[in-house]
Structure 1
Amino acid sequence: MIKNQETDECGLVAFNKEQLVQEAETEIREARKTIDYNTVEFKLEYFIDKISQQEIDDNLHWNEEKQSYFIESLMLGLPILAIVFKEKNSNDWDKLNSIEQIIDGKQRLLTALNFINNNLQLSNLKQLETLNGFKFEDLMLSRQSKFKRISVRAFAVAPKSDLSVWREYR
């Protein structure tokens, strides 16, 4: 139902478009106030360490080929989509505490964890064909270290933020 609506003699809804546009703009501004986040950048090993320590739903839905493709993308230095996570309650929001919930990017992080834990043997790689059949332990130690230090952009959502938008979006 549209606010401030009126009906004409035929029962059709008539409304003031300008007023409706203003109400919509106000609604958008108010809703945006419910989400607070910081843009941060971490090394991949930070996320791996955090998800290794937590009891997270670790249902990896990607098949081996998709996981391999993602690892190949990381090895090639291609940018990946940002990880979105909710911070645990902290008295100091400016100082990141720990991850309460991964909102977006769980499959990417679980794939990296799977690879680092030697549970993924790379296959069907197109650009780095020599790596087909490799596990993480097969890489040179310097390459393993570089892999763990890959920079990952993230959005750290404040504990007080309303996450219902993400729940509906997913």
Structure 2
Amino acid sequence: MAKAPNIPPEPEITDEQREGAEAEIREKQKIVDYDTKEYPVEVLFQKYRDGLDEDMNELYIPDYQREMIWEESRQSKFIESIMLGLPIPYIFVADLPPKDDHDDEARWEIVDGIQRIRTLDRFLNNDLKLCGLEKLKKLNEFKFKDLPLARQRRFNRATLRMIVLTDKADEETRRDLFERINTGSVELNDMEKRRGISPGPFVNLLEELAKYSKFRKLSPFSEALVNKREPEEFVLRFFAYLNNYKNFDRQVNTFLNK
């Protein structure tokens, strides 16, 4: 019988290491102090718009932020969400610390939420014409100026929540937060979204057929693809193209959703 290899025991964590780790946690926590706030849409718009041309606006876009990348249909859906009163993710900003005693501008650096702020700015400036809406279909082709006055006022009064890092947070902390927010989760794929948006007998049937042994043998999937609902995606495509291929409009995701 072969002898089992000698595996050295794992070194135990010492009390000194535990104390060092606890001290580091306490030290780093000091620079992630924050407040939560809630502001009406019109206030956030003014904080971003006033002084924008002179680069003196209170809501400030840092150099590491992305340009406007949302397409107009996604911008429109964000506006629709506000009108429907749906929960909107927090906007993260940081209170910029003064460079010296005579340079305290009390500006807020946008850490996460620039696409939402820019969308509000475009809509309230009548630069965004709503499109692709499926819940509020009658609002397609509307600009802000086309809304009745009462609806404009209600939209302006809708509130968005913010997390404000205090001026204790240095630039490294702000950039680290931005990276964590934007890499901390994996976006759902199309089939995962369909399960959440359109549950029911047909989605249940897709899941049942996706487990069919002959199908799995003919179309092998890795465990990672199974976890991403790829077999259900294949079954859905089979039915879609078999029964409805003449209506395919070159946009696979839209075609399958329909």
User: Under a length normalisation based on structure 1, what TM-score does the superposition of the two structures give?
Assistant: 0.79
Q: CA deviation at 1:98?
A: 4.6
Q: What is the DSSP-based 3-state SS (H/G/I as helix, E as strand, rest coil) of the residue aligned with 1:38?
A: strand
> Are residues 1:141 and 2:149 paired?
yes
* 1:115-158 CA-partner distances (Å, limit 9, x unpaired): 11111111110100000111111100111111111111111221
Q: When you count helix as a share of all residues, which structure comes out higher?
A: 2
Q: How does 1:85-124 map to 2 (within 5 A)?
A: 85-89=93-97, 98-124=106-132
Q: Between Structure 1 and Structure 2, whose CA radius of gyration is higher?
A: 2
Q: When you count strand as a share of all residues, which structure comes out higher?
A: 1
Tell me the percent identity.
37
Partner of 2:139: 131
Checking the alignment, whether the CA contact within 8 Å between 1:87 and 1:101 is kept in structure 2 is yes
Q: CA deviation at 1:165?
A: 3.2
- Provide structure 2 residue ranges, at least 5 long, that are not aligned to the other structure: 1-6, 99-104, 180-258
In 1, the alpha carbon distance for the partners of 2:163 and 2:171 equals: 13
Q: What is the DSSP-based 3-state SS (H/G/I as helix, E as strand, rest coil) of the residue aligned with 1:115?
A: helix
Please say which of residues 81-90 and 106-115 is displaced more in the overlay.
Answer: 81-90
Partner of 2:165: 157
Partner of 2:73: 65
User: Under a length normalisation based on structure 2, what TM-score does the superposition of the two structures give?
Assistant: 0.54
Higher relative contact order (CA 8 A, sep 6+): 1
Checking the alignment, whether the CA contact within 8 Å between 1:38 and 1:156 is kept in structure 2 is yes
Q: CA deviation at 1:69?
A: 0.8
Please say which of residues 29-38 and 73-82 is displaced more in the overlay.
Answer: 29-38
Q: What is the DSSP-based 3-state SS (H/G/I as helix, E as strand, rest coil) of the residue aligned with 1:14?
A: coil
Q: CA RMSD in A?
A: 2.5
Partner of 1:30: 27
Q: CA deviation at 1:14?
A: 2.7
Partner of 2:88: 80
Q: What is the DSSP-based 3-state SS (H/G/I as helix, E as strand, rest coil) of the residue aligned with 2:132?
A: coil
